[in-house]
Amino acid sequence: MFRISAEPLDPAALQRTLADTHAGACLTFEGWVRDHNEGHPVLALDYEAYAPLAEKEGARILAEARAKFAIRGAVCVHRVGALKLGDLAVWVGVTAAHRGAAFDACRYLIDETKARAPIWKKEHYTDGATLWINCATRGDHADRVKI
Amino acid sequence: MITVHIQYFAILREQRGLARETLATPAPTAVALYEELRARHGFTLPPDRVRAAINEEFVAWDTPLREGQTVVFIPPVAGG
């Protein structure tokens, strides 16, 4: 399951959806809102998503992970809305018979989600400035462009 | 001219000042529509930094536009 959520995420409830007596490993990843990015102090983040396409692309990413790795269950949920420092922005959980596949698949899911899902992040800085991450162009915070 | 529905997200939503609009356009392709809107609204991102989606699927920039479609331009993503 891949879902965009406007409500806070509940890791314990999400993990319960993966319960499976055939699984010997459960890997979870939590992405948290951090107080800095590339040397700039961050106060808060806004996340925005094109939810229908994000969920379709997310389903494709989950299917790829199932084809590549010997996993049992996989879930990824990403928040949208205004988030504060320390808030949970993304939760990934993977179960597998053995830990190796679970580690590999968890890494694959978060990396591909960050690279491909139509989700955007706006950082609010302590000096009042804001920036859509990865969207700067030449002459416009070019030092902060990450492509 | 065809009529299409456009949804804007993130930096494009802010630069357009709208989340969605319906408009008539002579643009034959997704990239032509982006260039038309970029010229009109001063979008800072060049087409090579943006992707297009039609009716909730990613498409190539040169995909022809058809009457009534929903078009979304995807700025560089940054989930996680």
Residue A140 pLDDT: 52
Question: What is the per-residue pLDDT across A18-46, written as a single tens digit (0 to 9) for each?
Answer: 999 999 999 999 999 999 998 889 999 99
Instruction: Answer yes or no: is pLDDT of A143 > 50.
Output: no
Three-state secondary structure readout of chain B: CEEEEEECCHHHHHHHCCCEEEEEECCCEHHHHHHHHHHHHCCCCCHHHCEEEECCEEECCCCECCCCCEEEEECCCCCC
Residue B14 falls inside a structural domain: yes
A140 shares contact with chain B (CB less than 8 Å): yes
Q: What's the predicted TM-score (pTM) here?
A: 0.93
Task: Assign A121 to helix, strand or coil.
Answer: strand
State the pLDDT confidence band at A137, using cuts at 50, 70 and 90.
confident
* ipTM value for the complex: 0.96
Residues in A touching B38 (Cβ below 8 Å): none
The superfamily CATH assigns to domain A2-13+24-144 is Molybdopterin biosynthesis MoaE subunit (3.90.1170.40)
Residue B79 falls inside a structural domain: no
- Pick A120's closest partner by Cβ from B7, B10, B53: B10
In angstroms, the CA B77 to CA A121 distance is 8
Partnered with residue B24 across adjacent β-strands are: B3
Which CATH number belongs to the domain containing residue B30 in this structure?
3.10.20.30
Residue B36 falls inside a structural domain: yes
Q: Which residue of B has its CA nearest to A78?
A: B80
Residue B59 falls inside a structural domain: yes
Q: In which domain, by residue range, is B53 found?
A: 2-74
Question: What is the per-residue pLDDT across B7-45, written as a single tens digit (0 to 9) for each?
Answer: 999 999 999 999 999 999 999 999 999 999 999 999 999
Q: Where are the domains of chain A?
A: 2-13+24-144
How far is residue B34 CA from its own chain's centroid?
A: 5
Residues in A touching B10 (Cβ below 8 Å): 48, 120, 122, 132, 135
Question: What is the per-residue pLDDT across A75-128, written as a single tens digit (0 to 9) for each?
Answer: 999 999 999 999 999 999 999 999 999 999 999 999 999 999 999 999 999 999
Minimal CA–CA distance to A117: which of B80, B52, B54? B80
Instruction: Answer yes or no: is pLDDT of A138 > 70.
Output: no
Residue B80 falls inside a structural domain: no
